[in-house]
Amino acid sequence: EKAVNLKKDLAEMQEWMTQAEEEYLEKDFEYKSPEELENAVEEMKRAKEDVLQKEVRVKILKDNIKMLATKVPSSGQDLATELNVVLENYQLLCNRIRGKCHTLEEVWSCWIELLQYLDLETAWLNSLEERVQMTENLPDKLDAVNDALESLESVLRHPADNRTQIRELGQTLIDGGILDDIISEKLEAFNARYEELSHLAVSRQIALEQQLQTMRETDHMLQVLQENLVELDRQLTSYLTDRIDAFQM
């Protein structure tokens, strides 16, 4: 009777593993939204915990069959063979579920990281747009134009590392067919705004550089003219003084 019960337990365990494999490993998942992906991650975490909890049951089965084998070698031997199959299948199931759980966690982490980089670069684009707007309607003063140019150039020196990460993370997820529509839309909007603002900022930078150069040349010409006028005034004053002195003589 004990052997029959153990055989039944082994069959139930094998049936449970088959169901778990069908439910967690053979089902096709489509991750078209962050909610679907997050739910899949949580489901695989629960699956991993569920499978690992069966380890206690497997160990009890193993101990009982070993004990039976010492008392009834013939029955124990048959059950030991079935047990080895169950143990192999159980270990394989554990490894596959661990692997899938790890993969989904990595995918979720990749998605969160992509969002973080997009937030950082969006904040930078907002700052760039603000600096570009500040270059409009500047007072016609050298210092004001120079300060605006330096402020704009400081923002334009932003490194491209974050954009590289965005491109690589986005492409990795899209290649895996994960959130591809959402990511493509986000990347398209980000890249379009980046290109538009970058071109606008560079155009404004060139215009400010030219304006600054013109103002500096004008200031230089005015300075030279002022110096010439001072010299002319000195010469005229000297000439008049000499004429007065000559007249008095």
* Domain range list for the chain: 1-235
Q: Per CATH, which fold does 1-235 belong to?
A: Methane Monooxygenase Hydroxylase; Chain G, domain 1 (1.20.58)
CA angle 90, 91, 97 (to 5 degrees): 90
Q: Is the pTM of this model over 0.95?
A: no
Angle between helices 180-248 and 142-156 (to 10 degrees): 150
pLDDT of residue 55: 87
Query: What's the pLDDT band for 171 if we cut at 50, 70, 90?
Result: very high
Residue 5: how many CB atoms within 10 A of its CB?
10
Residue 202: how many CB atoms within 10 A of its CB?
13
- What is d(CA 174, CA 31) in angstroms, rounded to the nearest whole number? 11
pLDDT in tens, 179-238: 989 999 999 999 999 999 999 999 999 999 999 999 899 888 999 999 999 988 888 888
pLDDT of residue 74: 65
Query: What's the pLDDT band for 102 if we cut at 50, 70, 90?
Result: very high
